Amino acid sequence: MQRLLVAVLIAGALALAGCDDDMSHQPKDKTWHAAAAPPNGLSWPLTPPDGMVGRDPPPAPPALSLALLERGRQRFDIFCADCHARTGDGQGMIVQRGFPAPPPLDAPRIVAAPTRHYYDVITEGYGIMYSFAERVPPRDRWAIAAYIRALQRARAGTLSDVPPGLMADLR
């Protein structure tokens, strides 16, 4: 019985000795590139190996249209509103459940960013926001970016911006 206890303690000590958090704190490398030269004078291939999917440069932004903004609103509501809220104020349902709040989309530093920045954030992630590259196709990323711009304009609007003919519809 005592030998079994000693064996369990040794096995437990060995298991705990293997615990380390180094794997959870590694730097993230987002693009494929050749690593440092291998030993013995060998060389790495200059292009990704067969079967590895390379990242193409992003497509050019599509022309701004009502259909693009409607698609952007739809995709924003699906992928972004949980954290950013449908209004863009950063108080979505996930935040109301205790997750850290993202900045409001009408914050001055976010409004000052180029529209391409929104596309890149959706693609690569930013801060605690993870990448949506595998979930949102490139054209929809541009649609969301265009909708964010429209949302920023709407959040900055006042009643004096409403055309007189539409003022009655607000009552």
What does DSSP assign to residue 114?
-
d(CA 7, CA 12) in angstroms, rounded, equals 9
133 in any annotated domain: yes
Predicted confidence at residue 25, as pLDDT, reads 61
31 in any annotated domain: no
Closest CA to 106 of 67, 150, 64: 150
Measured in whole angstroms, the distance separating CA 4 from the mean position of its chain's CA atoms is 51
Instruction: Return the structure tokens found at 93.
Output: 């349902």
Lowest mean pLDDT among 45-59, 73-87, 90-104, 157-171: 45-59
CATH code, domain carrying 87: 1.10.760.10
29 in any annotated domain: no
134 in any annotated domain: yes
pLDDT in tens, 109-150: 999 999 999 999 999 999 899 999 999 999 999 999 999 999
Looking at the chain, the whole-number percentage of residues with pLDDT higher than 70 is 75
Give the residue numbers spanning the domain of 124. Answer: 66-156
140 in any annotated domain: yes
25 in any annotated domain: no
Instruction: Return the structure tokens found at 91.
Output: 């108080």
Lowest mean pLDDT among 33-42, 52-61, 90-99: 33-42
Closest CA to 80 of 118, 107, 116, 112: 118
57 in any annotated domain: no
Which element (helix H / strand E) includes 138?
helix 138-156
32 in any annotated domain: no
> At residue 71, does pLDDT exceed 80?
yes
How many structural domains are present in the chain? 1
